[in-house]
Amino acid sequence: MAKCDLCELKEYTPWYASFTQPFRFTILDCDSCDTPMAVLGDHRAGPTAEERAFMVEALSLIARAKYGEGEFIIDGVMRQIPDHCHMHARPTRWRG
Ligand SMILES: [Zn+2]
Ligand SMILES: [Zn+2]
């Protein structure tokens, strides 16, 4: 049974990648922010340091292709669902 919206990811926004190794996580467009985000495959608030580093790296690859080198930040603040690890790549010039 799904515990939250991030456990039960629906494919109504573009998916960039879905990893099963070395651990499960998915990179897709966030439907509220319309920016790429990485979502851990487990319902946990805190990733291990290795998991976090891997997710940041993979999400940065996507964000670099989409926004350009140095044109985005990795935002690890979990505003809407604080108990399921996820992070957004946000363009630094998204308001301008
Ligand atoms: Zn979002
Ligand atoms: Zn969850």
Asked if residue 37 lies in contact with residue 87, where contact means CB atoms within 8 angstroms, the answer is yes
**Number of neighbouring beta carbons within 10 Å of residue 51:** 20
Q: Is the pLDDT of residue 75 over 70?
A: yes
Asked if residue 39 lies in contact with residue 11, where contact means CB atoms within 8 angstroms, the answer is no
pTM (two decimals): 0.92
- In angstroms, what is the span from residue 21 Cα to ligand 1's centroid? 24
- In angstroms, what is the span from residue 76 Cα to ligand 1's centroid? 11
- In angstroms, what is the span from residue 1 Cα to ligand 2's centroid? 10
For residue range 7-64, what is the model confidence (pLDDT) as tens digits?
998 777 889 999 999 999 999 999 899 999 999 999 999 999 999 999 999 999 999 9
- In angstroms, what is the span from residue 59 Cα to ligand 1's centroid? 14
In angstroms, the CA 66 to CA 35 distance is 10
